[in-house]
A and B are shown apart, each in its own frame.
Chain A
Amino acid sequence: MDLPSRISEEEIDRFLDGELPPDRHAAIEAALATDPALADRIAADRRIMDALAGARAATPRARAETLARARALERSLRAPRHGPALRRAAIAAGFVAAGWFGHAATGWIGVGESARQEDFLAAARHALRLAELDAGVRFAEETAEARVARLAASLDIAMPALPASWVVRDVRLHPWNGRTGLVVTADTARLGTVTLVAAAAEGEDLPPRAAGDPAMPTIAWRAGRTTFALMGSAAPVALKAAAEEIGAAPRPEGRRAPLGPEAAPGRPEAT
């Protein structure tokens, strides 16, 4: 068998780069002993790559700023994958805990007992109980959507169907003035990541409107004895459109008037 005559350029490269099957690699190794031209060629390519590796061994010096950016990226990659979403959920839960979107000073969403002061220890016990409930009743096969529905039902929250395009990332409970809020964080195509907070509340339905916080655009409304706040980094007008879509979606039966501007005549619309 005249092996060298059957060696192509492609095979030489594959041989050098370790891309040949073991039997073919061994055949070429054997041929090197009997074919000086082949041996010269392989040796030349190896010499050049060795020299190239030597010439390229010196690394350009990294400046302090480059190192700092590398460390920043490293920290970021090590952070939990849904860090931003969870941080948003935490902020949203904080708003709920503070009774922010039912603030009495606005005179807008009067959630009744929002001003009631809670004893710190009682609140802490409540949070702990919820955490236990939250962790203890997770079902292995439960989808995020099923979890939203189950928790909403257990909290007497009139949770509407979420837009089908939303991908729910996180569902959690959070104590709120002695009650419990449901915090849902989802990825959306148009709005980016959003967080929807829902909590049981007394009072008439109220249409969506912007609630001013430049750091966290928020649309709040009340429907079916449930107060909602939709938060995200999208423009308030886009959030409001999404809020109206959610508000128009079917809700569990037994709830009160449907959401809409007509639900609260005389209320100014804000965007």
Chain B
Amino acid sequence: MQRRLAVLLGAGMLLCATGAKADSDLRPSGKLLLTEGVSDIEGSAGGGVATWAVIGGYETRDGIGANVHATGIQLKDFQFRSWGGAVGFYDRVELSYAHQEFDTQGTGLKLGLGRGFTFSQDVYGAKVKVLGDAVYAQDSWVPQVSVGANYKKADQSAVLNFLGARDDSGVDWYVAATKVYLDQSLVLSGAVRATKANQTGLLGFGGSGNDNYHAEFEGSAALLLSKRFAVGAEYRTKPNNLGLKEDDWATVFAAFAINKTLSVTAAYVDLGEIATFKHQNGAYLSLQAGF
């Protein structure tokens, strides 16, 4: 994972260097610190487990920006890993990719899957800002609103089938609204996601006799404590298609912008019961480089 991160960072530096050579009217960066949020686990700009309406990358409407991230969550009985990136075009359109791995570690033995059995999926995302402005329009309560979609393709389809999942791929649709309330030093964000995904898709999509879309909620509240430091909390509801108990997710996090390029997010997460293992609490750490 460390090597992957190094490769990603290297690729990012290259992107940055290319950007610097662009026409002087095409501005590679220019957003204010932390106003692009951080990377969510689906690879899009968000708060961590919740998707926001902001567009990833430090570009303004006059340029193209990008970010890469690597995230690890160590739970009581499992480990979650994700890495990926997003490209923002003119602060209007964002294309993203994330690879997620859910490592059953020693728990795999107890589940009869084998030690270190790992579920993984690829998540491809597109997000478009449709109205409002999260940062500049401080004379209005109207948030920035974006719509987006994630196409997710999970591996291990035989096991997912055995667990009762209907499909190993699916599409999530969402609407997200985000606003920085500067006079309160507060960021509020909410999203509604139409999804069939079990544990965001890592355990497949739909279940036996249940192949409907469910409207689920993702919310974040963050307090800006300094130009480079924010603390907050998130909540994400989930469908329950498999007949295994699937709980909502809750986090409390701290995000720190080391400089204009690098930021780090640390969180305590409560992912509830996963695959019959209760109380999956743990530590979340995410590194992000934005350009």
Q: Do A and B bind each other?
A: no
Residues of A bordering B, CB below 8 Å: none
Residues of B bordering A, CB below 8 Å: none
